[in-house]
Amino acid sequence: MVKDKQKTLESKLAVLKQSYLATLKADLAALFQVFMQISFEVQISDCTLNSDRQVVNASSKMALDNVSQRLHKIAGSAGTFGFHAVGQQARTLEVTLQSWLEASDALPASSVLKAFAQQLQKLQSEVLLDIQSRPSVVAGESAISSATVIWLIEEDFDLGNSILEQLSNFSYTVRLFSSIEQVSELSSKVAPDIVIVDVRGNLGQLASLSKLSCPLLFISEQDTFDARIHAAQMNAQGYFLKPLNIPQLVNRLEQLLNDRQAPPARIMIIDDDDQLAMYYQLVLEAAGMEVLILETSCEIMEHISLFRPEMLLMDVHMPIYNGADLAAVVRQYDEWSNLPIVFLSAETDLNKQIDTLSPGADDFLAKPILAAQLVTSVRSRIARARTLSALLNKDSLTGLLKHASIKSAAVNEATRGYRQKYPVVVAMIDIDNFKMVNDTHGHAVGDVVISSVATLLRQRLRQTDVIGRYGGEEFLIVLPHCGAEDGWKCLEDIREYFSRLSFRQGEIEFACTLSAGLVCSSSVPADERETLLVAADEALYRAKRGGRNKVSY
Ligand SMILES: Nc1nc2c(ncn2[C@@H]2O[C@H](COP(=O)(O)OP(=O)(O)OP(=O)(O)O)[C@@H](O)[C@H]2O)c(=O)[nH]1
């Protein structure tokens, strides 16, 4: 699967490289012609006694400036496509041109200009000969696995089956083993995502599990320091006492799987060079990211609010609006004040880089940029942005969006739905008689119940759905592209699953239920969208009044 993906990417890149080569050849041929024309005009003006050399200088300087800008682009793009030598020579020519343009006196003699034109011609022929290797491509790993496979090692068949059944409620695929030897044999051929083992004092045998490359969780009867230090030395990433608290175990499983199940990063690219933009797109998509190339800069804010990028990758010098101005516009919107903006630029002058950064961009990536470098830089910046955003917007108990964030997300999602004419479901979910859970089993157990609802919602909803903790034991979810009927079925499914979970406090086992109320945007006029939350709350109230453990709309 990954190999096929890699092959497709390589063939797409080969096509793109061919098309870039054709453009590059045509560009260099055009630059050569422009240059020959300039040197011809300078030569004529040198020979004609009554010519106005100043006028010729002014118009030639404008033309040279244009050539310099085009060379600047080539210097940035050629290396990216693997034509490193061409990129470096274009940079050298650009620097020469800049020194002429910055000098206040007349342009160099026509013979110097002609010599420069010949260098351009040489560059053109070198493009044909340049057989530099292709840029390396990082094959993307799929961010999301279809189902999480857990190997459970439990000698007690009944206990093993009971754990298996409960974990299956959370959509895990669980395989039960009765001994560590069985796992050791199989682990050389296939690998699970996580191994859970009931240690039962089998300390010697456990050593063979340390070779596993996946996370290891221990279940034990012993709550002693020795047992726990042994688990730590074996790199166990969780230690759970019997009788097992399944929601607590599931919380840890979710934390471990969180990175792998994170939604793909969304990147928006703005570059007037179509081929470069497509190259970045291919490379980032192959690494599992979602990429949108913005075609019309003046619609930047509409596209940002629709696509909701986690990073903007922008060229600096663009024909109509430059990158610095676009970054400043983005920063005028509070909602996007933290969006990472990274410039991809062939600019090598540090002072100019700093000038460009000041209005609102966060960083620079110098062109030419290799595929692996691009993927790594984007990944690490997005990871950091996600961590910061989680700290700011996420509730610490459940990892879901906090009250203010989910509330504004609900309004934003609904607004987008009205604009693009698709239905959006907004639903309020509340744990039934939760006060009694706290009063009977204690606040800590209540917290486990709250976080198990969060886990269930994360697992059962789509990645495009938005989930938040609205209040203590109340949740708000937003389901884009979903009608009332489908929303109801989805919530019914969640309600039913939740009622089957069993929670534990010591020897006492208990179950909980939840109620939900939903509203679909198609039943509320666009200009009354602020009332969607009130309508969902009213539906929740009807579900409570109707006896709880119900979904109403
Ligand atoms: N454990 C725990 N309890 C919380 C948290 N936040 C709020 N609560 C409790 O949640 C309970 C909510 O109780 P009520 O609003 O009376 O509702 P209820 O008992 O769920 O009854 P219905 O909603 O009518 O079914 C209160 O006892 C709060 O103290 C929290 O973070 N952790």
Express each pLDDT in 298-332 by its tens digit: 889 999 988 899 999 998 888 888 888 899 999 99
Cα 542 to middle of ligand 1, angstroms? 18
In ligand 1, the atom with minimum distance to the C-alpha of 449 is 1
Residue among 470, 473, 499 whose CB has most ligand 1 atoms within 8 A, to mutate: 473
Which domains are assigned to the chain? 2-129 (1.20.120.160), 149-261 (3.40.50.2300), 266-393 (3.40.50.2300), 403-552 (3.30.70.270)
pLDDT over threshold 70, residue 340: yes
Identify the residue with better confidence: 141 or 233: 233
From atom 14 of ligand 1, which residue's Cα is the shortest distance away? Answer: 435
Q: Is the pLDDT of residue 515 over 90?
A: yes
> What phi and psi values does residue 74 have, to the nearest 5 degrees?
-65, -40
Among 143-147, 387-391, 395-399, the range with the most confident prediction by mean pLDDT is 395-399
Establish whether residue 393 lines the binding site of ligand 1, counting it when its CB lies within 6 angstroms of any ligand atom: no
- Cβ–ligand 1 contact at 403 (below 6 Å): no
pLDDT at residue 134 is higher than 60: no
Cis peptide before 368 (omega within 30 of 0): yes
2 pLDDT exceeds 60? no
Q: 305: which residues sit within 8 A by CB, 6+ positions away?
A: 412, 416
Q: Which residues 6+ apart lie within 8 Å of 139 measured at CB?
A: 2, 5, 6, 9, 286, 287
E strand segments, 335-423: 341-345, 363-366
At residue 153 the predicted structure's pLDDT band, cuts being 50, 70 and 90, is very high
Do 491 and 516 touch, CB atoms closer than 8 A? yes
Query: In this structure, what are the phi and psi dihedrals at residue 363, rounded to the nearest 5 degrees?
Result: -160, 170
Q: Is 434 in the pocket of ligand 1 (CB under 6 A)?
A: yes
What pLDDT is stored for residue 7 in this prediction? 62
Which of 6-15, 131-140, 226-235 is modeled with the greatest confidence? 226-235
- The mean per-residue pLDDT over the stretch 403-424 comes to 90
Res. 373: pLDDT tops 80: yes
Which residues, listed in sequence order, are joined to residue 515 by a DSSP beta bridge?
430
pLDDT tens string 245-269:
887 788 788 778 776 667 789 999 9
Query: Please, what is the average pLDDT of the chain?
Result: 83
Check pocket membership of 173 for ligand 1, CB cut-off 6 A: no
User: Considering only CA atoms, which residue is closest to atom 21 of ligand 1?
Assistant: 433
Task: Calculate how far, in angstroms, residue 472's C-alpha sits from the geometric centre of ligand 1.
Answer: 6
- Angle at alpha carbon of residue 523, lines to 418 and 488, rounded to 5°: 105
Nearest CA, atom 24, ligand 1 = 433
**Residues 454-481, mean pLDDT to the nearest whole number:** 91
Please calculate the CA angle 41-46-49 and round it to the nearest 5 degrees: 115
Name beta bridge partners: 477. 427, 467
Q: Cβ(430) to ligand 1 under 6 A?
A: yes
Give the Å distance between the CA of 436 and the centre of ligand 1.
8
Distance from Cα 546 to the centre of ligand 1, integer Å: 19
Q: What is the mean pLDDT of residues 524-545?
A: 92
Q: Is the pLDDT of residue 435 over 60?
A: yes
pLDDT higher than 60, residue 142: no
- Taking CA 472 as the corner, what is the angle to CA 463 and CA 445, rounded to the nearest 5 degrees? 95
pLDDT band at 517 (very low <50, low <70, confident <90, very high): very high
Assign 344 a pLDDT band (cuts: 50, 70, 90). confident
- Choice among 323-332, 347-356, 358-367, 370-379 with the minimum mean pLDDT: 347-356
Q: Which long-range contacts link 318-327 to residues 24+ away (Cβ below 8 Å)?
A: 318/270, 318/271, 318/272, 319/272, 321/297, 323/270, 323/356, 323/361, 324/355, 324/356, 324/359, 324/360, 324/361, 325/359, 326/270, 326/297, 326/300, 327/359, 327/360, 327/361
Give the CA angle between residues 80, 84, 90 to the nearest 5°: 100
Please indicate whether residue 435, judged by its CB atom, sits closer than 6 Å to ligand 1: yes
Task: For residue 212, give both structure tokens.
Answer: 């596993």
pLDDT, one tens digit per residue, over 446-455 is: 888 998 899 8
Give the position, in ligand 1's atom list, of the atom nearest the Cα of 432.
Answer: 25
Residue 489 has pLDDT above 90, yes or no: yes
- What tokens were used for 505? 């406090």
pLDDT over threshold 90, residue 53: no
With a cut of 90, say whether residue 492 has pLDDT above it: yes
* Residues sharing a CB contact under 8 Å with residue 490, sequence separation 6 or more, in sequence order: 460, 461, 479, 482
Q: Considering only CA atoms, which residue is closest to atom 12 of ligand 1?
A: 435
pLDDT of residue 129: 61
Residue 61 has a CB neighbour count (10 Å cut-off) of 15
The protein residue whose alpha carbon is closest to atom 28 in ligand 1 is 435
Is the C-beta atom of 513 inside 6 A of ligand 1? no
The rounded Å distance from CA 443 to ligand 1 centre is: 10
* Percent of the chain whose pLDDT exceeds 90: 31
Structural contact between residues 247 and 397, judged by C-beta atoms closer than 8 angstroms: no
**Residue 458: which residues within 8 A CB-CB, separation 6 or more?**
254, 399, 400, 467
Which pLDDT value is given to residue 52? 58
Nearest CA residue ID for atom 4, ligand 1: 472
The question of ipTM being above 0.90 is answered as yes
The pLDDT assigned to 145 comes to: 35
Question: How much is the pLDDT for 48?
Answer: 63
Residue nearest to atom 11 of ligand 1 (CA): 435
Output the CA torsion 94→100→103→108 (10° steps): 170
Task: Note the pLDDT of residue 6.
Answer: 58
